[in-house]
Structure 1
Amino acid sequence: MAHGQARPILLGLIGSPIAHSASPAMHEAAAEAVGLKAHYQLIDVPGADAAQLRALLSALRPIGFSGVNVTFPYKEAVLPLLDELSPGARAVGAVNTVVVRDGRLIGHNTDTTGFARALVQAFGPAPEGPVALIGAGGVGKAVAVALARFPGLEIRMVDADPAKAEAVAASLAGHAEVRVCRTVEEAVDGAKGIVNGTPVGMLPDRGTPVPPALLRPGMWVADAVYSPLWTPLLAGAARIGARTMTGRELAIHQALDAFALFTGREAPAAAMERAFDRAVAPLAA
């Protein structure tokens, strides 16, 4: 096979903690399925400041990376360090995919496109609202922009830092009905949907962003966390008969969109789904 000699496409993930990430498995399997070879490197850097992030990003070009994904806690911190932002990334104010093109670093946000598609797949073309959205960080902002695409859906945002939620609400003014709530109780009261856009419930954390007593059987509940797949929030929702969407759907859909940006090739969904399921199986046990 001629392409076997070609240098593999170099990809990676910047964030912390990321040991449980399914991204290497998904991207390497997708590349193989379209006849490419990829190496996807986990770049786990806890507590990096702007100078360290800048050094890391500027090293991507000379080392020969085609791009990297960015996850918690750096989705917002990388913004000023990039050469260009896609309209989607600028609208969200967070980046989860950086493409290296002609020596320039271009930021995109595939959490938004990925979440919108995943939501439709799970709950139909018009998810019921109001929706309580927990978290106004990188993922929360992307989810808010995705929810704003559904006409007439009221979004109730709550964050430990109310100023962050206020900023998201201001950025979506005129595009969506966003109400900033002071407490999770206030956001969930009368809501038809709940989305967790925080890392609460991600291993080793066993907490839940929504007290189980607030969940109702008629609700739909989605979680951006996928390690474990059944977070305490989703397990509680499933127990009472609420409809659920695990972080699997968002993880796969954002990766499909990122792979297309990295390689210019459409990612084979089936290969990514299989790779994701293999990667998270040990966590689900």
Structure 2
Amino acid sequence: MAHGHARPILLGLIGAPIAHSASPAMHEAAAEAVGLTAHYQLIDLPGADAAQLRAVLGALAPIGFAGVNVTFPYKEAVLPLLDALSPGARAVSAVNTIVVRDGRLIGHNTDTTGFARALVQAFGPQPDGPVALVGAGGVGKAVAVALAQFPGLEVRLVDADPAKAAAVAAALDGHASLRVCRRIEEAVEGARGIVNGTPVGMLPDRGTPVPFGLLHPGMWVADAVYSPLWTPLLTEAARIGARTMTGRELAIHQALDAFALFTGRAAPASAMERAFDRAVAPRAA
């Protein structure tokens, strides 16, 4: 590696637990592919309160970070600690990408842009609806905003916390045909698509957010979880012949969009795809 020329671009991920993240591999490979050097640091913060989060965010600019990603459970907690929000992040009221510019922290949400692009790639320019969306947390909200971009697509949102689902519905009022359902059965009945936006099914959890009996072959099923890539939900959906999209697509597309925000350079998708597959392959078995 050449020394003394370019300082590596410093990037990172704030969340917990994040040891399994494919983000370091993806961003470092993307940088290399466009002739840059990046160092992507995992910033694992279990149980951080607002003061601890503020301290970490306050250190980013002085230390020289170009930006960081934010994941569970801090996508909403960071909002009041930022200097500005992109329109997308404001719409979702969740942030997964923070860009450091001239000492200011600007929040973006590339889960939204990434999910919309991934969905089109997997299921065509106008995915079949209605869509049952499980989860109204950080990822669920981003998915809801992404689905709202497809004209006339009915979204049925269900969350273990009905108040959370109601808040998302209120935020999207007038922008989407979104209905809050109390029970998963109600959301899935007659639905053509299902999206899991919860951590259910993420290792070590082996649960499913949707009882298998509600699945049928005419559906498409997408999962935001990528550890494991084939969650119990997706494994069963594929087994019965439903079309599936793993968390790989969302992971890669949100990272592509984040890399462009961090560096001002378009990352080659192929470099990120290869890096993701290498990072996740050992766990796929």
Tell me if 1:14 matches 2:21.
Answer: no
The aligned residue for residue 31 of structure 2 is 31
Matched residue SS, 1:5: coil
User: Are the counterparts in 2 of residues 207 and 232 from structure 1 also a CA contact under 8 Å?
Assistant: yes
Which residues in structure 2 correspond to 1:1-285 (within 5 Å)? 5-285=5-285
3-state SS of paired residue (1:187): helix
- CA apart distance, 1:5: 3.0
Task: For 1:234, give the aligned amino acid.
Answer: L
Say if 1:134 and 1:158, in contact at 8 Å, map to a contact too. yes
Q: Is the 8 A contact 1:140 1:198 kept in 2?
A: yes
Counterparts of 2:167 and 2:112, CA distance in 1: 17
**Conserved 8 A contact 1:75-1:95:** yes
Give the 3 Å change call, closer, same or farther, for CA 4–146 of structure 1 in structure 2: farther
Q: Aligned partners of 1:66 and 1:206: how far apart in 2? A: 36
Give me the whole-angstrom Cα distance separating, in 1, the residues matched to 2:137 and 2:2: 44
The AA in structure 2 aligned to 1:95 is: V
Given residue 181 of structure 1, which amino acid in structure 2 is its aligned partner?
C
Deviation of 1:2 after TM superposition, in Å, equals 6.4
Could you say if the C-alpha distance between residues 203 and 178 of structure 1 is closer, same or farther in structure 2, counting changes exceeding 3 Å? Answer: same
**CA distance in 1 between partners of 2:116 and 2:163 (Å):** 25
Q: Kindly state the Cα deviation for residue 173 of structure 1 after the two structures are TM-superposed.
A: 1.0
1:45 aligned partner, one-letter code: L
Cα shift at 1:175: 0.9
Label 1:264 to 1:180 Cα distance change in 2 as closer, same or farther (>3 A).
Answer: same
Measure the CA separation in 2 of the matches of 1:222 and 1:32. 30
For the Cα contact (< 8 Å) 1:3–1:36, is it kept in 2? no
**Percent identical across equivalent pairs?**
88
1:118-155, Cα deviation, whole Å (9 max, x unpaired): 00000000000010000000000000000000000000
Three-state SS of the structure 1 residue aligned to 2:47 is coil
Q: CA RMSD in A?
A: 1.0
CA distance in 1, matches of 2:187, 2:77: 27
Counterpart secondary structure, 2:221 = strand
1:263 partner amino acid: T
Cα distance between partner residues in 2 of 1:281 and 1:222: 19
Q: Which runs of 5+ in 1 are unaligned?
A: none
* 1:64-84: CA deviation from partner (whole Å, max 9, x where unpaired): 100000000100000000000
**How high is the TM-score relative to the length of structure 2?**
0.99
Q: Aligned to 2:265, what secondary structure does the other structure show?
A: coil
User: How many residues are treated as equivalent by the alignment?
Assistant: 285
- SS in structure 2 at match of 1:119: helix
> Shift of residue 213 of structure 1?
0.7
Name the CA distance, whole Å, in 1 between partners of 2:185 and 2:80: 35
Tell me the SS of whatever aligns to 2:203.
coil
Equivalent residues of 1:11, 1:67 under 8 A apart = yes
